[in-house]
Amino acid sequence: MPNDSVILGIESSCDDTAAAVIANGKALSSEMASQRIHARFGGVVPELASRAHQRRIVPVVRAALRKANVAPSDLAAVAVTRGPGLAGSLLVGLGFARAYAFGLGIPAMGINHLEGHVFSACIGQELPKSPWLCLIVSGGHTQLALVEDGLTLRPLGTTRDDAAGEAFDKVARLLDLGYPGGPAIDRLAAQGDPNFHAFPRARLAGYDFSFSGLKTSVLYYLNGLGDEKRAALMQRRLPDLCAAFQEAVVDMLIDALERAMTETGVREVHIVGGVSANARLRQRAKTLGETCGVRIRMPQPAYCMDNAAMIAFAAHVRLAAGQTDALDHPVMEPNLALGTFA
Ligand SMILES: Nc1ncnc2c1ncn2[C@@H]1O[C@H](COP(=O)(O)OP(=O)(O)OP(=O)(O)O)[C@@H](O)[C@H]1O
Ligand SMILES: [Mg+2]
């Protein structure tokens, strides 16, 4: 298969049904149907998610092909997320992709969702020169990894409890800000004072992270106020509280990144996943890069959260590297980890 082949990407690991077309490493389209139904439950309900994927997968794929002005017969491969994710949700994407590829007589490629995130800041751009650091900060993962050579990746650290995005979501729930909570906290924090309260920053050995203590500390802080003061705070100082919490998360991420940059001597760092959309994190990362003379890349906003362009692009990277081991008969692996790029 030529490297510049046209690839259809499909992503259905959680609550977004997404399809995209990539040609020669450039995104021609990236379509997404998000599921609002989960908001009222404060988190994703797996059975509802898989049913919604089933209803949406065909229209979303059609829209992606139409926007890209590509016919099914132009496709060289179908890339699909095979894990990690919700089993029922993954099955819808995998089942569709395998059947669609079979019908067209082209290969289906199973892609690790995290591998998609890892390369999401490079879509339409050149790949970094190895070695480079990648910090994944998403709803389910917080991982720092060194990409040593092409697709060879060495995990340096991970969260021991909540993921960074999960911490945003859980604190947002404490503050009645809805789900997902990251964007709401980000918006409010923009008008708040990060020095309003000093929440604790966990610093573990190596590059591991911990966010559950911070979340509990926000809970204890709110409980300690009593009903009247708490109501007043929610009315008048909510932006300050959001800014103080957000600053603690960003401090922990930037601290680990800075230490890893010094120790590895890399010239390039990528920050990817839903939390990489956070305005304060982006600002602090930019400043860190400028101070240290290291190139920092973060995905364009549409590619921070789950999307299918990153899945198709990861397939493109694999093919460009001559790796075709992910071809055909992709099997679902809900617990797939980073570091197993196969
Ligand atoms: N601006 C923001 N600031 C902080 N967090 C954000 C922002 N935007 C989104 N998030 C968080 O990003 C997370 C979603 O990211 P993403 O879609 O990458 O995660 P996921 O796919 O659910 O998890 P994973 O990729 O680990 O399986 C949510 O937790 C959400 O609150
Ligand atoms: Mg994701």
Tell how far the Cα of 196 is from the centroid of ligand 2, in angstroms. Answer: 31
11 forms beta bridges with 18
**pLDDT at residue 342, as a whole number:** 43
User: Mean pLDDT across the stretch 62-84?
Assistant: 97
Is the CATH number 3.10.20.30 carried by domain 6-121+303-320?
A: no
6-121+303-320 and 130-298, same CATH topology: yes
Of 143, 169, 155, the closest CA to residue 273 belongs to 143
Tell how far the Cα of 182 is from the centroid of ligand 1, in angstroms. Answer: 7
Domain boundaries, the chain: 6-121+303-320, 130-298
In ligand 1, which atom is closest to the CA atom of 172? 31
For ligand 1, atom 26, name the residue with the nearest CA: 140
Write b or e for each residue in 203-221: b if 16 or more Cβ atoms lie within 10 A of its Cβ, otherwise e: eeeebbbbbeebbebbeeb
The count of other CB atoms within 10 Å of the CB of residue 200 is: 11
Q: Note the pLDDT tens digit of each residue in 183-225.
A: 999 999 999 999 999 999 999 989 999 999 999 999 999 999 9
**pLDDT at residue 341, as a whole number:** 52
Which residue among 113, 275, 333 has the greatest number of ligand 1 atoms within 8 angstroms of its CB, and so is best to mutate? 275
Establish whether the linkage from the previous residue to 107 is cis, with ω within 30° of 0. Answer: no
pLDDT score of 47 more than 50: yes
| Token pair listed for 255 | 């601290």
DSSP letter at 9 equals E
CATH number of 130-298: 3.30.420.40
For ligand 1, atom 30, name the residue with the nearest CA: 182
Q: Percent of the chain scored above 70 by pLDDT? A: 96
In ligand 1, which atom is closest to the CA atom of 169? 31
